[in-house]
Structure 1
Amino acid sequence: MVEAFLTGDGHRACGICPSRHFPLGEFDVAERPSKDLPFDPRDGHRYTAAGVPVCVHPEKVGLSPRRYKTDGLSLTAELVLPQEAAELDRYLRELMHNAAPETLEILIDQATQEIPRVFPEVDVITALRRALN
């Protein structure tokens, strides 16, 4: 049996979200609900015209809106650091806690490289520990 993308009760995703029923890559993520993504009352999912299940709350699943299943896209994550070092802790905490589980390693790698370049005065390990706790 294939494992769902999100498991457990601690995540913000809706209970009927495709991310709780399908693995990553087996559903699309849309920016918001739309009449082009009709709701199917039989299972509670929204679907594309081609029958691909769609999550309509990207901020809850930590994925960018993309046609992952429809276009066969692989998962990517991008760290966009804030302008000020004082905003870094809040930004990293929000980013890490809302990230898709598969993107955490990518984001941590990017942070390890980018934080010292942009904010040389910041200890990257300490910043990441604060974000992940």
Structure 2
Amino acid sequence: MQMSAEELRDATCIVCPAQSLPLGHFDVTDRPGPTSRYDPDVGCRVDLVTDVPVCVHPYRVGLPPGQYCSGGVPVPEIPEEPPAPTRNALELPDDVTDLEGWIIAVVRAAGQSRIHQALAAAEEVAGKRFGERAVVTAMRRVLTIELTRQR
């Protein structure tokens, strides 16, 4: 079952191409990295080679990594449960725009029974790199979306 446009916007980062593009009109990679960069003119990450918009959080958009736009890979049905965050997704990002996605990866990897411990640990670790204000902003959005998703 495909998510509605509204559900997709709620499930993804504010800089995700899924905020403005339908599935299939962007690629999905397993994490942020040197092959893509945030382009403020486009409003999302783009691949440095293909110039195609890229989602870097497959566990948020609900699709496995794939070249849906640049390679014409068909968009599969989105499973009930999104893909689990990869080990790479659990590494603290260097860019604050990826902080929200990282916190969600930490929460989902921890599971519902350990969500409070995971949030506390994520807040402490992220605060050392990004500062309190950035962490609180990301945590608010994560809590709004993730806590309702896990009910």
TM-score w.r.t. structure 1 length? Answer: 0.51
Question: Aligned AA for 2:53?
Answer: P
- Distance between the aligned counterparts of 2:26 and 2:9, measured in 1? 21
Partner SS state of residue 60, structure 1: helix
- Distance between the aligned counterparts of 2:42 and 2:9, measured in 1? 22
Change (3 A) 1:43 1:61: same
Matches within 5 A, 1:28-107: 28-48=27-47, 49-77=49-77, 96-98=80-82
Matches within 5 A, 1:12-31: 12-31=11-30
5+ residue gaps, structure 2, are 84-150
Q: How big is the alpha-carbon RMSD for the aligned residues of Structure 1 and Structure 2? A: 2.9
5+ residue gaps, structure 1, are 79-94, 100-132
Q: What's the % identity of the aligned pairs? A: 35
Question: Which of structures 1 and 2 has the bigger CA Rg?
Answer: 1
Could you list the per-position Cα deviations for residues 46-88 of structure 1 after superposition, in whole angstroms to 9, with x for gaps in the alignment?
111221000000000100000100111112259xxxxxxxxxx
Matches within 5 A, 1:99-118: none
Change (3 A) 1:44 1:10: closer
Question: Aligned AA for 1:98?
Answer: P
- Distance between the aligned counterparts of 2:50 and 2:11, measured in 1? 27
Change (3 A) 1:72 1:44: same
> 1:127 is matched with which residue?
none
Structure richer in helix, relative to its length: 2
Mean alpha-carbon deviation: is it higher for 62-71 or for 34-43?
34-43
- Distance between the aligned counterparts of 1:34 and 1:47, measured in 2? 11
1:42: how far off?
Answer: 2.8
Change (3 A) 1:11 1:98: farther
- Distance between the aligned counterparts of 1:98 and 1:75, measured in 2? 14
